[in-house]
Amino acid sequence: MKSLKGQSILEAQQFGREILDDLFLEADKMQGVCKFLDGGEVSEEAMHECGSIKAGMAEKKIALLFYEPSTRTWSSFYVAAENLGARVMAIPPARQFSSAVKGETVKDTIAMFCGYGIDAIVMRTDKEGMAKEADEAACASGRTVSIINAGDGKGQHPTQALLDLYTVKRFFKNDLKKDIHEEKINIAFVGDLANGRTVRSLAYLLNKYQDPEKLEFFFVSPPVLKMKDDIKDYLDKKGVKFSEYEKLADVVGKIDVFYMTRVQKERLEGIQVDYDFIRNNCSITKEVVEKMKKEAIVMHPLPRDPAFGEIPEWFDSDPRAKYIQQAENGLYVRMALLKKVLLG
């Protein structure tokens, strides 16, 4: 893929390093655009950038179609589209208020949107593979309508992976100037690795971005929530090192990037999880913090679960806590992505 223009965004594997570097440069520019829109002082270049994007986006229509709840993805795409000057069609929660209630298929829904001249449909679904189904329906319409997968069940969440990688790039070793292509990244994925789509997408995306010898994964979870074989097979095939643990305390000193996750209670389907074990062994505890590298960073796609406590609030003021900035980066990356998809 040479350019993102007119493309659908369905899975993390579709990106290459060149496209990612270009997208991240655009996301840097979007920080300037947001500052300008907030009334801050910016360069002539940022003002010009903002004017030309808004002129190009004025006729673009973006629909937000969410069949599952969301705070960050929905609102950051909404603000991103508004900041760019596009017209936004925000569908109320589709499982409750669209004709999905009456049994309408995603295929028919997408066919309708294509007929209304929508240019991009950002969709979150509760079933793996629904974004691809939607893309097939959009292609069948004969129009150029980009489907953007904002999370499909246990499948993938590629735009989350984009903002996650952008965050790693910005904050790795807490040095904004670092070129992470040159660095070896030891990343720990911690918690529910069986049901979380964000870890799946990020594992694929990191592989597309880093050379195999510049990357090592440490998977930390109880046995019932282990990373699935498809990802491990992929890493084997690519020659990327990974290892598995049950206790974060056993690897903490080696880790540069902690990617914490919530237990996906809504997707457990009868699996019994020992929450006390997770709270004590797969969470940020005082013991873990004591052994953590000074320049490590701690990320989380959010929401976190206060009942489970994978990242307790007392850690928020630690300079290594990056999850709030990570969510903010979602706005810049999604603005950049919408611009690239709709304008090139």
Backbone φ and ψ of 310, nearest 5°: -65, -30
- Does position 60 bind ligand CP by CB under 6 A? no
Where does this chain touch ligand CP (CB under 6 A) — which range of 255-263, 284-292, 295-303, 335-343? 295-303
Active site annotation includes 200: no
- Does position 304 bind ligand CP by CB under 6 A? no
- The rounded distance, in Å, linking the Cα atoms of 187 and 296 is 10
Residue pair 117/92 in contact by the 8 Å Cβ criterion: no
- Does position 301 bind ligand CP by CB under 6 A? yes
Considering the complex, state which of residue 32 and residue 330 has its C-beta at the smaller distance from ligand CP. 330
Among 27, 106, 251, 302, binds ligand CP (CB under 6 A): 302
- Tokens for 265, please give them: 């209670």
Q: Which of 61, 72, 262, 304 is catalytic?
A: 72
- Tokens for 46, please give them: 């940022």
Applying the rule CB under 6 A, the residues between 114 and 143 that interact with ligand CP are none
Q: Which of 60, 61, 124, 300 is catalytic?
A: 124
Where does this chain touch ligand CP (CB under 6 A) — which range of 127-135, 136-144, 297-305, 333-341? 297-305
Strands of the chain (E only): list them.
Answer: 61-66, 87-90, 120-125, 146-152, 185-190, 215-220, 241-245, 257-260, 297-299
Where does this chain touch ligand CP (CB under 6 A) — which range of 26-34, 68-76, 209-217, 240-248? 68-76
Considering the complex, state which of residue 60 and residue 72 has its C-beta at the smaller distance from ligand CP. 72
- Does position 340 bind ligand CP by CB under 6 A? no
- The rounded distance, in Å, linking the Cα atoms of 173 and 163 is 17
- The rounded distance, in Å, linking the Cα atoms of 299 and 200 is 15
Neighbouring residues of 151: CB distance < 8 A, sequence distance ≥ 6: 68, 70, 73, 124, 125, 157, 160, 197
Pairing of β 215-220 and β 241-245:
parallel
Active site annotation includes 157: yes
- Does position 73 bind ligand CP by CB under 6 A? yes
Query: Residues in the chain, how many?
Result: 344
Where does this chain touch ligand CP (CB under 6 A) — which range of 43-51, 52-60, 244-252, 298-306? 298-306
Active site annotation includes 124: yes
Where does this chain touch ligand CP (CB under 6 A) — which range of 1-9, 64-72, 279-287, 310-318? 64-72
- Does position 43 bind ligand CP by CB under 6 A? no
- The rounded distance, in Å, linking the Cα atoms of 216 and 170 is 19
Cα distance between the two ends of the chain: 13
- Does position 210 bind ligand CP by CB under 6 A? no
Among 149, 160, 167, 261, binds ligand CP (CB under 6 A): 160
Active site annotation includes 285: no
Q: 114: part of which helix (H) or strand (E)?
A: helix 106-115
Applying the rule CB under 6 A, the residues between 267 and 286 that interact with ligand CP are none
Q: Which of 29, 60, 61, 157 is catalytic?
A: 157
- Does position 70 bind ligand CP by CB under 6 A? yes
Q: Which of 102, 177, 237, 286 is catalytic?
A: 102
CB of 69 vs ligand CP, minimal distance in Å:
7
CB of 290 vs ligand CP, minimal distance in Å:
28
Q: With b meaning 16 or more CB within 10 Å and e meaning fewer, what string describes 151-185?
A: bbbbbbbbbbbbbbbbbbbbbbbeeeeeebeebeb
Between the CA of residue 261 and those of 71, 161, 199, 308, what are the distances in Å?
A: 16, 13, 8, 11
- Site for ligand CP, rule CB under 6 A: 70-73, 151, 157, 160, 301-303
